[in-house]
Structure 1
Amino acid sequence: MSRPSPRLAALGLLILCAAVLGLAPILVRLTDTGPAAAGFWRFLLSLPLLALLCARPGSGGLGLPGKWMVVAGAFFALDLSFWHYGIVMTSVANATVLCNLTPVVVTAFGWIVFKETPKRLFMLALGLALGGAFAMAAGADGAQGTNPLLGDIFSLSVALWYAGYFLAVKAARATAGAMRITFWATAVGVVPLLLVALMLGERIIPASAGGWAACIGLAVMHVFGQGGVAWALGRLPASLTAVTVLIQPVTAGLLGWWIFGETLTPVQALGGALVLGGVVLAQWSSRSLPAPPTKTGAEAKAPAPVSI
């Protein structure tokens, strides 16, 4: 039996990791801590596992953080600070959808900076996915979260921070492996998240065993989800990766309906279908684009890790 092409393997892994990341808003609500504190534990508890993965033979080790890894960590800390508050204030579906409107920014930067010229069919796919995302947000019943409007605004601002993270990781992947980048981007964000939680007077320590379990779950999800996205960014165009990650809000919306009983209106369900359709169309439209080179610098000496 012939092995799948590297591009197909990267797409498959990216889809799986995007679905895993859809667990994040569910776990944040179960941590029994403040929103920023949940991000702090997500980062802190993931570092030992990330360090272990970086220490594997042939992985290149931890080394020192490059400038793009530091930039990625700063953007990611801002991302989680605003997004975790959005999760509490609005619905799980809205918070996840609005923060994932990054493809607009990522596609523009990918076009200008990385010379990844999008096809017309890809732009149609992007519009379809974004239309579905807006439908999921606009179709909410308005009775979800503590402050839906402010939560939606916070979640929308995250689109900029997440785009910055995406593009910084894309730049870092030219010379470093996925797990090394994920480790340093995570390490950079630990202290800022703790400071935000302390300044806002949040509960830092989980109040129950279930809260600790949720924090550990967030850490494991972070390693495999974000590590997988970083790995895919070394093999796929940034714009395609950003659109595919829009699977997150679909997963989060279904889980929010199942676990928290959040209403999934017909408009939201239609929006989810449009997002999935846009993701499929984006992948199909980009099938002939060459994957960006990854075997440079440090990675030229050893194969990039594929098990994350």
Structure 2
Amino acid sequence: MSSPTPAPRLIPLLVVLASASVLGLAPILVRLTETGPAAAGFWRFAFALPLLCLLVARPGGEGLGRPSRWMLLAGLLLGLDLSVWHYGIVMTSVANATVLCNLTPVVVTLVGWLVFKERPARLFILALALAMGGAFAMAAAAEGGQGTNPVLGDLLSLSVSLWYAGYFLMVKRARTTAGALRVTFWATLAGLPLMGGVALVLGEDMIPATTAGWAACMAMGLMHVVGQGGVAWALGRLPTAITAVTILIQPLVAAGLSWLIFGETLTIVQALGGALVLAAIMLAQWSARTKTGATPEGVAPA
């Protein structure tokens, strides 16, 4: 019997685009939870866990199994990522917070190249530079007066790129031996106490004041399952650098929603920067077509 044909790259690419678009809801929902920033992350994890458990433990599913060290490290890094980023969302504009934290591709590309031997094509490096240029344009051109402390918020959001890159790389390693839902479940469980601990130490409001706040918390849980689960699935089938560039669609979604919901203006330069990011994503995917079409090493079951 012949071995099954590897899934085409188009499918995981579409999954990443859809997942990143869903994750673009995160900064909007954080502001609507009526809790502290880290507490919002705690409820995100808490509401996601029951659904993840049902999906992993369902008949015919992969089962919970035991977590690998990569899964636990991914959870700790994701907890650090969200703890810092949620404060950035409150202190600066949604567009800035989302764009600056997505400088992740720079870190991911370098580590993937040096550690995992995923050498990027020259055209991909050009796409990465264009994407970063577009991201900086979106952040630098934002109008002032958005958020409680824009400068500190920008710095916090920028630091998140390191934690998010670490999360990406740990998930990539975890996916060599486990499916996406199992990885996402254990990473979420590992990050839950960290998020709760940060919220308590900083004296945040833990409980939403209204039904709308609770609805936002539950929506974050569903968003986490769909968004992070989709990214984890794609990381088993795409190079980390390609995935990291593709999720730059997330700031565009967040910026558009913040304009509609919070009235945060989107300047012409920001709009042009967003268009540049989209063009860079397409260029990065086109550059990948010059590589072998084989499935990445260590692909795990879905």
TM-score range (shorter-chain normalised) is over 0.9
Task: Supply the distance in 2 between the matched residues of 1:204 and 1:164 (Cα, whole angstroms).
Answer: 27
Work out whether residues 7 and 295 of structure 2, in 8 Å CA contact, stay in contact via their aligned partners in 1: no
Give how far 1:4 is off. 11
Give how far 1:288 is off. 3.6
Task: Supply the distance in 1 between the matched residues of 2:80 and 2:180 (Cα, whole angstroms).
Answer: 21
TM, length-normalised to structure 2:
0.96
TM, length-normalised to structure 1:
0.94
1:46 alignment counterpart: 48
Task: Supply the distance in 2 between the matched residues of 1:4 and 1:267 (Cα, whole angstroms).
Answer: 41
2:241 alignment counterpart: 239
Listed as ranges, the matches of 1:149-298 within 5 Å are 149-289=151-291, 290-295=294-299
1:17 alignment counterpart: 19
Give how far 1:255 is off. 0.5
Task: Supply the distance in 2 between the matched residues of 1:138 and 1:66 (Cα, whole angstroms).
Answer: 40
Does 1:73 find its partner at 2:91? no
Aligned-partner SS, 1:262:
coil
1:144 alignment counterpart: 146
Aligned-partner SS, 1:6:
coil
Structure 1 stretches lacking a partner, 5+ long: none
2:28 alignment counterpart: 26
Q: RMSD value over aligned CA atoms?
A: 1.3
Task: Supply the distance in 2 between the matched residues of 1:40 and 1:20 (Cα, whole angstroms).
Answer: 19
Give how far 1:113 is off. 1.3
Task: Please list the CA deviations of residues 137-168 of structure 1 after superposition, one character each: whole Å capped at 9, or x if unmatched.
Answer: 00001110000000000000000000000000
Task: Supply the distance in 1 between the matched residues of 2:252 and 2:287 (Cα, whole angstroms).
Answer: 21
Work out whether residues 32 and 207 of structure 1, in 8 Å CA contact, stay in contact via their aligned partners in 2: yes
Task: Supply the distance in 1 between the matched residues of 2:51 and 2:297 (Cα, whole angstroms).
Answer: 27
Identity %: 68
Equivalent residue letter for 1:55: A
Structure 2 stretches lacking a partner, 5+ long: none
Task: Supply the distance in 1 between the matched residues of 2:197 and 2:7 (Cα, whole angstroms).
Answer: 45
Give how far 1:281 is off. 0.5
Number of aligned residues: 296
Work out whether residues 237 and 291 of structure 1, in 8 Å CA contact, stay in contact via their aligned partners in 2: no
Task: Supply the distance in 2 between the matched residues of 1:288 and 1:59 (Cα, whole angstroms).
Answer: 35
Aligned-partner SS, 2:171:
helix
1:118 alignment counterpart: 120
Work out whether residues 128 and 278 of structure 1, in 8 Å CA contact, stay in contact via their aligned partners in 2: yes
User: Do the aligned partners of residues 4 and 172 (structure 1) sit closer, same or farther apart at CA in structure 2, a change above 3 Å counting?
Assistant: closer
Task: Supply the distance in 2 between the matched residues of 1:291 and 1:203 (Cα, whole angstroms).
Answer: 46
Give how far 1:291 is off. 2.8
Task: Supply the distance in 2 between the matched residues of 1:109 and 1:196 (Cα, whole angstroms).
Answer: 28
Listed as ranges, the matches of 1:95-110 within 5 Å are 95-110=97-112
Task: Supply the distance in 1 between the matched residues of 2:233 and 2:74 (Cα, whole angstroms).
Answer: 14
Task: Please list the CA deviations of residues 89-120 of structure 1 after superposition, one character each: whole Å capped at 9, or x if unmatched.
Answer: 00000000000100000000110111111001
Runs of 4+ in 1 over 4 A off after TM superposition: none
